[in-house]
């Protein structure tokens, strides 16, 4: 999988093929004739749909056939295509549409990674078809659409995590960004896996040891800065004092090189602004802000001494 967005998105040919299968047209020769496409394109399309976990091929008989798979997201999509057969899904769900719809579903105020003019164009079409309400939410009248979006996203998140190891655990996810815990023996399959959080603390002379490594998967992030490592450490368990303490240690250790503007901006994006502003206040006042999962100042000083961090 070269990029999550490329593998995640649907082409028009894929959606047309899925519609035919959902209508009960299972023979490859019939689908090819119905869609007026050449065999190489159909083969390529079927391969893409297989990688999405949506279809299964039957090559045992004289006539080659294809069916929708038993995966939950495939069942939900079949229901969607069947119940709303009149909707031109091949135009509505192609290209960046799935990514935008999922972001609208999970947080319409945090649409990221899509150029504004592209977002405006898609949103205009979605609203005109009634897919998105005037309030900017996925229309619940399209029964099964939110469930399909969530299940399809979950399928891809697991697929990405399994590229590291079958035993990888997703600690956090938003859209197609993931925080993954995996065995130290795991080897990243591509450049979108970035080692982060406590796994890179030794780079800053903080000798934390663990049987696991933590990776941040992102197709847009180039490098992991200390600010990122601090935030990703918090994401492991945001309300856990242990990880808050680790994040504080790295924050204090690198305070001269930390870009606080970047730190706070990224914290807002990850939903960690409350924790980060509390940590910054804590280091200034030596007082634990109310409602924050932080150590006492005495405990932090002791832990800093253990790790050679000047306080």
- What does the alpha-carbon distance between residue 127 and residue 129 come to, in Å, rounded to a whole number? 5
Closest CA to 178 of 228, 152, 212, 215: 215
- Residue 219 contacts residue 176 (beta carbons within 8 Å): yes
Phi first, then psi, for residue 213 (nearest 5°) are -120, 155
Closest CA to 160 of 184, 180, 185: 180
In the structure encoding, which two tokens stand for residue 30, read together?
């019939």
- What does the alpha-carbon distance between residue 208 and residue 200 come to, in Å, rounded to a whole number? 9
Three-class SS state of 282: helix
> How much is the pTM?
0.85
First to last CA, the chain: 45
Residues counted in the chain:
311
- Residue 131 contacts residue 139 (beta carbons within 8 Å): yes
Q: Where are the alpha helices (DSSP H) in 112-253?
A: 116-129, 145-162, 226-236, 241-253
Please give the chain's pLDDT, 311 residues, in tens. Answer: 344 456 889 999 999 999 999 999 999 999 999 999 999 999 999 999 999 999 999 877 678 899 999 999 999 999 999 999 999 999 899 988 988 888 888 765 556 667 778 888 888 989 998 899 888 888 888 889 999 999 999 999 999 999 999 999 999 998 789 999 999 999 998 899 999 999 999 999 998 888 899 999 998 899 999 999 999 999 999 899 999 999 999 999 999 999 999 999 999 989 999 999 999 999 999 999 888 999 999 999 999 999 999 99
Walk me through the domains of the chain, giving residue ranges and CATH numbers: 4-151 (1.10.10.10), 163-306 (no CATH)
């Amino acid at each position: 999988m070269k990029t999550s967005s490329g593998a995640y998105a649907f082409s028009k040919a894929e959606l047309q093929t899925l519609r035919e299968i959902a209508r009960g047209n299972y023979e490859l020769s019939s689908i090819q004739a119905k869609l007026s496409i050449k065999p190489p394109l159909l083969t390529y399309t079927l391969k893409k749909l297989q990688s999405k976990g949506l279809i299964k091929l039957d090559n045992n008989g004289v006539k080659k056939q294809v069916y929708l798979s038993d995966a939950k997201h495939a069942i939900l999509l079949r229901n969607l295509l069947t119940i709303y057969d009149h909707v031109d899904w091949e135009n509505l769900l192609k290209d960046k549409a799935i990514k935008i719809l999922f972001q609208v579903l999970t947080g319409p105020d945090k649409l990221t990674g899509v150029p504004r003019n592209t977002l405006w164009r898609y949103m205009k079409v979605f609203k005109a078809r009634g897919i998105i309400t005037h309030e900017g939410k996925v229309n619940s009248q399209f029964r099964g659409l939110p469930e399909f979006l969530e299940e399809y996203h979950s399928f891809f998140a697991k697929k990405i995590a399994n590229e590291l190891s079958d035993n990888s655990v997703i600690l956090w996810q938003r859209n197609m960004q993931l925080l993954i815990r995996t065995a130290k023996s795991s080897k990243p399959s591509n450049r979108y896996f970035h080692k982060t959080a406590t796994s890179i603390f030794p780079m800053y002379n903080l000798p934390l040891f663990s049987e696991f490594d933590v990776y941040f998967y992102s197709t847009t992030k180039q490098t992991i800065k200390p600010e990122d490592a601090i935030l990703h450490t918090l994401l492991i368990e945001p309300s856990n004092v242990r990880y808050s303490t680790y994040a504080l240690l790295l924050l204090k250790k690198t305070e001269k090189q930390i870009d606080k503007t970047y730190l706070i901006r990224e914290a807002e994006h990850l939903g960690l602004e409350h924790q980060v502003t509390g940590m910054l206040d804590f280091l200034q006042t030596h007082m634990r802000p109310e409602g924050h999962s932080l150590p006492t100042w005495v405990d932090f000083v002791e832990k800093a001494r253990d790790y050679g961090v000047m306080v």
